[in-house]
Amino acid sequence: MKAANEARKSATLLGLALDNDDGHTRITRGKNFLLLGGSQETHGFMQETAVKVNERLDGRGKRLENVSVGELRDICRDVTESIRRS
In a domain, 21, yes or no: yes
In a domain, 4, yes or no: no
Q: What is the pTM of this model?
A: 0.86
Q: What is the mean pLDDT of residues 59-68?
A: 96
Say whether 57 sits in a helix, a strand or coil. Answer: helix
In a domain, 7, yes or no: no
In a domain, 30, yes or no: yes
In a domain, 65, yes or no: yes
In a domain, 2, yes or no: no
* Residues 46 and 15 sit within 8 Å (Cβ to Cβ): yes
Encode pLDDT of 27-51 as tens digits.
999 999 999 999 999 999 999 999 9
- Residue 4: which pLDDT band, with cuts at 50, 70 and 90? low
Which structural domain, as residue segments, surrounds residue 65?
13-85
In a domain, 72, yes or no: yes
Strand 33-37 to 27-30 pairing: antiparallel
Counted domains in the chain: 1
Determine which helix (DSSP H) or strand (DSSP E) holds 37, and give its type and residue range: strand 33-37
Is pLDDT larger for residue 32 or for residue 5?
Answer: 32
Q: Which pLDDT does position 74 carry in this prediction?
A: 97
